[in-house]
Amino acid sequence: MSAKSIRTEKLLRRYLSGDITAREEAELERRASADDGLREAMEGLYAHPEVEHDMAVKRMIGKAGAGSRVVAVSSRSLRITRYAAAAAVLLLLGFVAIWLPGQLSPQGETVAMTEGLQETPEAGSEKVDQAMESEPVSESNPARESVTMDSRELPESELPLETRPPQTSPVEPDRQATAKPAPEPSEPAGPVAGLSGNNVSSEAEAAEPTEELAEEVRVESPPPPAPPIPTTRDARKRQVPSARSEAEADVAFDDVPQYGVDRSAALFSGRIMDDDGQPIANALVRRPGLPLGQRTDSSGVFEIPADATLSEIIVSHPDFLEERVAIEDEAEDVQINLSQEEERRRQADFFGPTAAVTRIEIEPGRKTGYAAPLEGYSELRRRIEAGKPGGIEPGKVKVSFLVSPDGRLSAFKFRGRPSQATMDYIGNALVESSTWQVVKGKEPVRVYLKFRFE
Amino acid sequence: MLRFLRPTAAEERSDAELVARFRQSRDPAHLSPLYLRHAEPIYAICLRYLGTPARAEDAGAEIFAVLLEKLPQYEVDNFRAWLSTLVRNHCLMQLRREQRDPLQRAAPGLMQSGELLHLIQEESEEKDTRPLHHCLKQLKEEQRQCIRLFYLTEGESYRSIAERLHLSMGRVRSHLQNGRRNLRLCLEKNQ
């Protein structure tokens, strides 16, 4: 439709709603030049360009309708009522969708309790045997019983997380997500065994008296009432899986602040190392503008929530220079090397390359590895900084690249805009003269390095 | 939503038909489509004279009652022109009651969109467009971006530019308006 064929009122309406194009606006102004009323109208609108005039017009129509009890207007208000009713229904549906998991959670608790009860007899707990007799709910539901039977047949280490079918509780994915951080903290290696169902019950028995008391309360009470809060909290602190299922009712609210991670969000993880390839523990990794972040564990590994807005992270540690790293691909494993300040670097050099080195073992089963040049980071950096050809400008150059498990280097990225000669030199030097390996990893690792040319 | 609420059958009818129907029935329900159709000009003229959106809303709402009373009394050939006069007089009377000078609000001097469209899009002709491009460069960044998008890209609207530049529609309208004014001033200075 050409602008000329549109009614003036419609053009004006399009102007107010913002849908007008340049040609339509020109047509509106042309008409305004021949129509005093329209010209005045445009002058009025031009005087207040930033006001939402279309809303004001709606309000004006509303006021006019309210004052004159027009049939058409009343039919309009009837429609408004209908829209309002529809909106209310939608709101209600949304509300139900949010609260449904909460309402179903008593079932989840029942399942959790049933499982706990089925498992504990193996550990020989007489107390729970009695509880089973007084617990008709678990026997009246064959589906649930079959779940517990199945879980008894499987290896213990897989029990709590993987054997439960999804229909037993709608909060199941959440439970898996919350389970993930459990083995993460830098506890001395090994106690992964905490995942075993038998260990759970024996651990529960070995707990302090208040814990046992709470256990009894839980067993004797019928399924619907929520378990006592102290029990839930204590249990979660010990990260016992069965306790986690009991705590489903308040997990939704409590977990987010506890881990600082949205369970539905992806995690961006990486490893912080020093010049010698040693992991740096307790380094703070945060997003620009946010004071809080995550600290690296003893393996130098960190995990922060990743979303589409994550573009840069800041890594800081009192003993090292702060590093800002641009994130290109959140799915990549990254490895960031922090440099020490000059003074500390010199002190460190005093010990020389023959100083004792302790390499901290990464916990078994971790997919993420770390990359290291065979000659060591210090030597590599020194060699490349010393061997620079004449054309390289002095200054800092930050580079990142992917190290494949087979040792190949690819996808070089330079921060800022170093000269072509600098990029060529560093890229070639790394590719041709350094040998890299990915230790204990199956995925490529992105390594961030900084060179300082005098 | 407003579009939904407008009676669709009345859309096709001319102003004259709607006026005739109302004059016959004197039913406020028959005045409503006419009022809804012209709501924007009514509001905008009130805004022109009364100066604030809130006062324009109130005065515009009063116009409905004025129409109910006056429309049956007059033979109206050109409803739009008659309505403009009615609204203008209503506002002037209100200002007179408040003893304010209705002429204190001078119309802002704007470069017309059509003029700018012609200047920007008819570059192939012999007309020298160098002053225009020189003046475009003098504009503030946001004004220049809005002007370029609106006048050089076919089909762009205030809304689409607002979405593209992450601005409110009011800001886009304001940037376009101020950009046009600054362009006009710059071009006049360079002539």
Element spanning A101, H or E: helix A71-119
Nearest to A116 by CA among A132, A97, A139, A105: A132
Helix (H, G, I), strand (E, B) or coil at A320: strand
As a whole number of angstroms, the distance between CA A67 and CA B65 comes to 8
Question: Are B87 and A68 in contact (CB < 8 Å)?
Answer: no
As a whole number of angstroms, the distance between CA A400 and CA A371 comes to 12
Question: What crossing angle do the helices spanning A71-119 and A126-133 adopt, rounded to 10°?
Answer: 130
CB-CB contact of A138 with A117 (8 Å): yes
As a whole number of angstroms, the distance between CA A265 and CA A253 comes to 16
SS (H, E, C) chain B: CHHHHCCCHHHHCCHHHHHHHHHHHCCHHHHHHHHHHCHHHHHHHHHHHHCCHHHHHHHHHHHHHHHHHHHHHCCCCCHHHHHHHHHHHHHHHHHHHCCCCHHHCCCCCCCCHHHHHHHHHCCCCCCCCHHHHHHHHHCCHHHHHHHHHHHHCCCCEHHHHHHHHCCCHHHHHHHHHHHHHHHHHHHHHHC
Sequence-distant (≥ 6) Cβ neighbours of residue A109 within 8 angstroms: A223, A226, A227, A245, A246, A248, A249
Q: Is the pLDDT of residue A344 over 60?
A: no
Nearest to B56 by CA among A15, A20, A29, A55: A55
| A170: amino acid identity, one letter | P
CB contact burial B107-128 (16+ within 10 A = b; e otherwise): eeebbbbbbbbebbeeeeeeee
**pLDDT (0 to 100) of residue A45:** 87
Other CB atoms within 10 A of residue A88 CB: 10
Nearest to A268 by CA among A234, A241, A302: A302
pLDDT in tens, A233-267: 443 334 434 434 444 434 444 444 444 444 445 77
Question: Are A30 and B114 in contact (CB < 8 Å)?
Answer: yes
Model confidence band, residue B43 (pLDDT cutoffs 50, 70, 90): very high
Scanning B107-136 for CB atoms below 8 A from A yields 107-108, 110, 112-114, 117
Please give the backbone phi and psi of residue A153, each rounded to the nearest 5 degrees, phi first.
Answer: -80, -20
Question: Are A79 and B49 in contact (CB < 8 Å)?
Answer: no
Helix (H, G, I), strand (E, B) or coil at A266: strand
Which is higher by pLDDT, A140 or B166? B166
**pLDDT (0 to 100) of residue B87:** 92
**pLDDT (0 to 100) of residue B94:** 86
As a whole number of angstroms, the distance between CA B40 and CA A42 comes to 10
**pLDDT (0 to 100) of residue B11:** 59
pLDDT in tens, B110-151: 556 666 666 666 554 556 677 787 888 888 888 888 888 888
Question: Are A46 and B81 in contact (CB < 8 Å)?
Answer: no
As a whole number of angstroms, the distance between CA A66 and CA A41 comes to 24
**pLDDT (0 to 100) of residue A254:** 41
DSSP β-bridge partners for residue A334: A270, A446
What is chain B's mean pLDDT, rounded?
80
| A292: closest CA of chain B, how far (Å) | 29
What average pLDDT does range A78-93 have in this prediction?
82
Contacts of A30 in chain B (CB under 8 A): 112, 114
Token pair of B159 as six digits: 């809304």
As a whole number of angstroms, the distance between CA A153 and CA A426 comes to 57
List the single residue in B with minimal CA-CA distance to A15.
B158
CB-CB contact of B102 with B49 (8 Å): yes
pLDDT in tens, A298-342: 888 888 887 777 788 888 888 888 888 887 776 777 788 887 765
Token pair of A99 as six digits: 């609260």
Nearest to A269 by CA among A308, A297, A309, A239: A297
Question: Are A9 and B38 in contact (CB < 8 Å)?
Answer: yes
Please give the backbone phi and psi of residue A340, each rounded to the nearest 5 degrees, phi first.
Answer: -85, 160
Other CB atoms within 10 A of residue A418 CB: 21
Question: Are A51 and B53 in contact (CB < 8 Å)?
Answer: yes
pLDDT in tens, A354-406: 444 444 444 444 455 677 787 778 888 888 888 888 777 888 888 888 888 77
CB-CB contact of A310 with A268 (8 Å): yes
Lowest mean pLDDT segment, chosen from A184-193, A296-305, B25-34:
A184-193
| A311: closest CA of chain B, how far (Å) | 19
Question: Are B61 and A76 in contact (CB < 8 Å)?
Answer: no
**pLDDT (0 to 100) of residue A104:** 65
Q: What one-character DSSP code corresponds to residue A279?
A: B
Sequence-distant (≥ 6) Cβ neighbours of residue B162 within 8 angstroms: A18, B168, B169, B171, B172
Alpha helices in A167-304 (DSSP H): 172-179, 197-206, 209-220, 229-237, 241-246, 248-259
Q: What one-character DSSP code corresponds to residue A323?
A: E
**A333-337 vs A266-273, strand pairing mode:** parallel
Taking only Cα atoms into account, the Rg of chain A, rounded to an integer number of angstroms, comes to 33
- Tell me, yes or no, if the pTM score tops 0.90: no
Q: Is the pLDDT of residue A133 over 90?
A: no
Contacts of B170 in chain A (CB under 8 A): 49-52
Helix (H, G, I), strand (E, B) or coil at A147: helix
What is chain A's mean pLDDT, rounded?
65
| Count of CB pairs separated by less than 8 Å, A with B | 190
Other CB atoms within 10 A of residue B47 CB: 29
SS (H, E, C) A343-388: HHHHHHHHHCCCCCCCCCCCCCCCCCCEEEECCCHHHHHHHHHHCC
Query: CB-based contact (8 Å) between B68 and chain A?
Result: yes
ipTM of this predicted structure: 0.76
User: Which of A26, A29, A61 comes nearest B36 by C-beta?
Assistant: A61
Angstrom CA distances, B141 to A379, A391, B116, B167, B168, stand at: 49, 38, 18, 13, 16
